[in-house]
Each structure stands twice: as structure tokens, then as C-alpha cells.
Copies of this chain bind each other. A is one copy, B any other.
């Protein structure tokens, strides 16, 4: 079988002292951490769009990525030809899952009928490769943002015909995902928002968006798709404002439109920081609502104001993410999808490997560190201690909603002065550093 990355061996675990950049120093797929193999904790996925389709252009420059396997055309043949390249990549990187947009894997064509036929053909091919390799689909999605017809929204377009086109695409992307045994299906609404409020009916647009989601819920049920549905928050870029701007905005929207039972959130670090939140914050908000579904594993540059989609190599970040995933009992349908791209200057195919190795090793370390923190117990104990006055008679009574304002006033007037203990942030930060090794 032809190799498209002939100079890249299968990436193997070689331990932290390895100086070979084409080895894992920390990711040891079958190593058990807390009784579960690393690969099952982490459920890594590669993003088809970044690995196979991202030419690394930017708003001021043309694509730089070398893709010797790609003839540069939008043909179905070229699309089919990319598939074995991608599966070779997955295999060599030891990544078990992948994610795709309909239009990344399959060309648009001149009509919707052609587009649907193309997608069906590509789906068949992907299925064959999944079967042969054991790789799995983490989630699929429809690209409702790149084509000019979606410039003013897909579900939230002022044109009802555009809404119908979006619905048509969602139907087929959902069916393709189902056919491939996808564990989930994602809605990211990059054009579901506005460029200016001067020409926007926000309430009506949001109702249309909700309707598309309801339609998808019903259709999923009809075709027997049992995967998890997700929405993915992002505040801006490309639109000036996107309705699903952060975890709280998504939850508010889902609650308002009776969709919270059907959707979970797919959170991304760079989207969190663009919204002015830490990734930990977004995770806590989602977890508190029982709605954390999956993670787009990347990082941003908080000194820049756009989505840089860098690979997550910061161990502090991966530790915080894994700490929360472990505490919630692990990912079920979701995974860690590398929605991350190389820098435009890293234009050689081998950079794809360096990039994913770095992200996988960083998450493997994050997992081990988080596990050590939880086993050690000092962090959680500090948290428990901090709230201990709420575990008293009076605290419980308030939590059970058995006290009135007047009773609390009387209680308060009987206290000389509430005593506050230090929040100990610095000590706790030092504690985290103990585990960073």
C-alpha cells in the first residue's frame, strides 16, 4: 500500500527521556490511569478539516501547506483520494477518532442533488476505511458557514430558502453521521448571529435557529440516531456576534426553547477565551448544568483577538481540563478533538505530526497530573473545608429553603461578626505546581 508520509514511522511511546521528536514522551495508549487506559480517558480525535483541508491561508496571505497527495481540485476523485491519506495519518498518530464537516470530506457540486450524492459516495468510502482500521467517528457536522449563500446566516438567514438549504444539508450530514456510527453530531453556528443590529431581528432569528434544532432532534429520532447532539459556543468571528456566544448563552437559549434535554455543549478553549472566560470556567458552567458533552482541544493566544486554534501544549491548561473531566466521571460520547491547526509557517506535512504529538503528550501529562491531584486529595479537601459552615444546621436549613429573610436577619444580629478565613489562592497555586512534573 502506498504511503503518503513515507518518512514518518508510526508514533510510539518512548518515555519522557526520548529526544526523538517523532515519539510520544507521555502518551502511552494502553497505560492504565486509575484503572482505565489512557486512550479511553482521552478519546483523541483528529479534525478532518485541519489535517486534510487547511491550506493555512490567512486574511493577508495565500495557502502555504504542502499537500503532495492533493491535486488541488474540487473533484469527487480528489475527495476520495484524500481518505486513505487521512487514515494513514490517524494510524501513524495512534488517534482513535475523527470528526468532519460534510463539505470537508465531500465536494459541494453544482446542485444539492449532486452534493448529497457526493456525500453518500464519500460516506461509503469512509465506512470502508473505518472498518478496515478500527477508527471511529466522534462526530459529524454540516458546514453552514463557508458558502456565500450562508453569508447572512443559515438557520438565521433572512432568506427562507437559505434556511431550507441549511435544513437539507443538516438532514444529509446527520444521516451520514448515523451511517458511520458517529458518537455525536455538532452544531456550530458561525453565521448564526449578526454583522450589525441595524438590519437584524434578533428574536425572530433565534426562533428560526431553535426550530432547526428541533427539526434535527425529531429527525435523529426518526432515523434511530442515538448519538449525542451538541452545540458549540463561540462569541464572534466570523460574525460580529454569534448567538451561541458562550456556555451560559447556549444554556439560556436551550432552556428558553425547550432543547436542554436534547443537547450538550462542545466546548473549545479558544472560543472560551474569545468570550472572556477561561476554559475551566466554561467547563464548570456546563458541568453544573449537566451539559458538558465534548471538548475541542486547542488553545488561543490571549494577546491576539481572533481564533488562533493553536495546539494545546500548555500543561497547566490540560491539567485543568482533565481535572474536570475526571471529576465528572470521564467523557462518555464525547472526546478530545484537535480543532487545532499548525501555524502558517509550519507548512510541511511532518509538522502535522509534531503538532498532534505535542497536543497528545500534553493531554497525557494533564491526565496523569490531574489523577495525582485527585488521589492526593489535598485540593479537594481544601475545597470541602472552605464551605464547611454550610454543612451545619443553619447552612442546611438555608439550602433546604427553610429560612425566611426575617429569620436570617435575626440570626445575623446574634452574630458578633462573621469570621472569614483566607481564600489561600497562592497556596493552592503552589500546590498545583507541586504536581507539574
Contacts and interface: CB of A to CB of B under 8 A. Distances in A.
B147 A61 contact: yes
Interface in A396-436: 398-399, 401, 403-406, 408-409, 411-413, 415, 417-434, 436
A58 interface: yes
A132 interface: no
A397 B160 CA distance: 11
Contact of A198 (B197, B215, B358, B432): B432
A186 interface: no
A255 interface: yes
Secondary structure at chain A's binding surface: helix, strand, loop or mixed? helix
A161 B412 contact: yes
A281 B197 contact: yes
B146 A62 contact: yes
A50 interface: no
Contact of A430 (B152, B357, B412): B357
A303 to B, nearest CB: 6
Contact of A207 (B171, B236, B399, B433): B399
A306 interface: yes
Given A211-B399, A214-B401, A405-B171, A199 B424 contact: yes
Contact of A422 (B145, B284, B345, B362): B345
B255 A256 contact: yes
Contact of A413 (B113, B148, B251): B113
Interface residues of A, number: 157
A191 to B, nearest CB: 8
A34 B157 CA distance: 34
B430 A313 contact: yes
Contact of A426 (B19, B62, B351): B351
Best-buried of A191, A379, A427 by chain B (most CB within 10 Å): A427
A164 B386 contact: no
Contacts of A306: 59, 237, 305-306
Interface in A160-174: 160-165, 167-168, 170-172, 174
Contacts of A216: 405
A165 B395 CA distance: 13
Interface in A366-410: 378-379, 382-383, 386-387, 389-390, 392, 394-395, 398-399, 401, 403-406, 408-409
Interface stretch (A37-45, A85-93, A269-277): A269-277
User: Copy number of this protein in the oligomer?
Assistant: 4
A313 to B, nearest CB: 5
B423 A343 contact: yes
Contacts of A131: none
Interface in A233-248: 235-238, 240-241, 245-246, 248
A363 B264 CA distance: 41
Contacts of A411: 164
A405 B62 contact: no
Best-buried of A163, A202, A204, A420 by chain B (most CB within 10 Å): A420
Contacts of A148: 61-64, 347, 420
B218 A404 contact: yes
A76 interface: no
Nearest to A110: B417
18 contacts: A19-B378, A58-B238, A64-B148, A152-B345, A152-B420, A158-B387, A158-B390, A171-B409, A196-B429, A200-B383, A211-B398, A246-B248, A246-B249, A302-B303, A347-B420, A348-B422, A351-B427, A361-B430
List 10 tightest A-B contacts by C-beta distance, closest first.
Answer: A305-B305, A345-B423, A252-B252, A161-B418, A167-B408, A168-B412, A248-B249, A302-B302, A164-B412, A203-B288
